[in-house]
């Protein structure tokens, strides 16, 4: 059984089937060949990137915007406040004006907002204060949403119940509800390797989807054994922004292994994904977050102890991921590994920079030319 047939026979098949029908209908409506229809799947969807994609350059806001303009993208997410040269109102006003001049929509963000997560960095502030500072930055640069995360992949491995962390985040969101509603800015919580899509949905629904939405990430689901298409099925209706990247997934003696790669280098069925994206969240900003330079992560689901972290995962959801691993393959291209131990010489750092730049640039080009994603480049 191939992966597409499997998805159509699994739970959530109606969504995957609708995606494929959408693509067929597009071809029929405009009398296009299947290949030409594929190139129109991204019509009307704004394309951009998350600044973390080029983190090795340590560029700040204006430099990042100028780079984005050179790529003819439509939007850019500044997902951490450290990527601003300053968060003083006068400087943020300049950033907003520069983005408007370049016709680039800005998307804002902060990091971890759960004080019991391993990634929490209080900086002398409470989670509520961190959220409110992020809100002021988002407002100043004209963003419609502010991305944040509960924690990270390591939190799933500490033994602390994920529900305890979820409750903490919900309480924090409720503490700032009025302020976000008053500014008409959405909190966009990311599935960050700590949360499955259904768990992320619980946070959004419990806190209130009138002011909480999703920053839908397609790379992080592999850390929780989730098919990225399932992530879209669950979180697509809540998504206002995204982190889009590709992965390779393949079987390993302990279970499976997964590695992030440039957009188009992996095993995700992007034609089916984007057809469903058009149906569920076409107004959500499609932001490429390309993270390469990391070795494959092992997902030891053949070992009993592993399942203590995923005791509530439905078997049907795991089966979809296991099928991807069965049909998948490792990445066979070359890659400079960023997360290798020890000090790195200057030449190594320069190689990492160029790898990040190249992987992002070719990912943007692939998204534009293969699927027609983006608007500004079509006007050039």
Please tell me the predicted confidence (pLDDT) of residue 107. 97
Name the CATH architecture for the domain at 14-19+43-368.
Answer: Alpha-Beta Barrel (3.20)
Report pLDDT digits (tens) over 294-338. Answer: 999 999 999 999 999 999 999 999 999 999 999 999 999 999 999
Please tell me the predicted confidence (pLDDT) of residue 14. 47
β-bridge partners, 106: 76
Q: Quick check: pTM over 0.85?
A: yes
Determine the Cα–Cα distance for residues 39 and 280; give it in Å rounded to an integer: 19
Report pLDDT digits (tens) over 183-205. Answer: 999 999 999 999 999 999 999 99
Closest CA to 204 of 222, 216, 221: 216
Report pLDDT digits (tens) over 273-289. Answer: 999 999 999 999 999 99
Please tell me the predicted confidence (pLDDT) of residue 341. 85
DSSP label at residue 7:
H
Determine the Cα–Cα distance for residues 107 and 111; give it in Å rounded to an integer: 14
Please tell me the predicted confidence (pLDDT) of residue 2. 35
Calculate the alpha carbon distances from 244 to 25, 100, 168, 262 in Å: 25, 24, 27, 10
Calculate the alpha carbon distances from 211 to 138, 166, 168, 183, 205 in Å: 14, 17, 17, 10, 10
Q: What's the residue count for the chain?
A: 380
On whether the CB atoms of residues 113 and 190 are closer than 8 A, the answer is: no
Please tell me the predicted confidence (pLDDT) of residue 21. 52
For tokens 């990040």, the residue is 356
Those residues of the chain that have pLDDT short of 50 are 1-16, 18-20, 23, 26-27, 29-31
């Amino acid at each position: 059984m191939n992966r597409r047939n499997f998805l159509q026979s699994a739970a959530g098949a109606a969504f995957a089937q609708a995606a494929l029908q959408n693509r067929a209908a597009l071809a029929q409506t405009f009398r296009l060949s299947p290949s030409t229809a594929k190139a129109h799947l991204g019509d009307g969807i704004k394309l951009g990137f998350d600044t973390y994609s080029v983190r090795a350059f340590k560029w700040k806001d204006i430099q990042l915007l100028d780079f984005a303009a050179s790529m003819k993208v439509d939007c850019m997410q500044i997902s951490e406040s450290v990527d601003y040269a300053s968060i003083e109102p006068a400087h943020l006003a300049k950033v907003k004006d520069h983005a408007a001049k370049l016709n680039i929509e800005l998307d804002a963000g902060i990091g971890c907002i759960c004080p019991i997560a391993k990634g929490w960095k209080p900086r002398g502030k409470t989670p509520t204060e961190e959220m409110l500072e992020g809100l002021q930055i988002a407002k100043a640069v004209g963003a419609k949403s502010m991305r944040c995360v509960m924690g990270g992949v390591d939190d799933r491995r500490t033994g602390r119940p994920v529900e305890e962390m979820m409750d903490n985040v919900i309480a924090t969101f409720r503490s700032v509800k009025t302020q976000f509603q008053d500014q008409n800015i959405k909190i966009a919580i990311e599935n960050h390797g700590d949360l499955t899509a259904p768990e992320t949905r619980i946070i959004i629904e419990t806190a209130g989807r009138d002011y909480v939405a999703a920053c839908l990430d397609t790379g992080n689901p592999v850390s929780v054994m989730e098919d990225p298409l399932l992530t879209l099925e669950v979180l697509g209706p809540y998504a206002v922004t995204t982190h889009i990247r590709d992965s390779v997934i393949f079987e390993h003696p302990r279970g499976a292994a997964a590695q992030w790669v440039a957009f188009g280098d992996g095993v995700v069925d992007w034609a089916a994904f984007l057809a469903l994206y058009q149906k569920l969240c076409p107004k959500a900003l499609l932001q490429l977050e390309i993270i390469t330079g990391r070795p494959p992560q092992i997902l030891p689901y053949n070992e009993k102890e592993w399942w203590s972290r995923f005791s509530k995962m439905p078997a049907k959801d795991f089966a979809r991921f296991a099928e991807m691993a069965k049909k998948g393959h490792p990445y066979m291209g070359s890659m400079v590994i960023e997360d290798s131990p020890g000090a790195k010489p200057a030449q190594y750092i320069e190689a990492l920079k160029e790898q990040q730049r190249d992987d992002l640039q070719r990912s943007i080009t692939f998204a534009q030319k293969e699927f027609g994603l983006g608007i500004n480049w079509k006007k050039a």
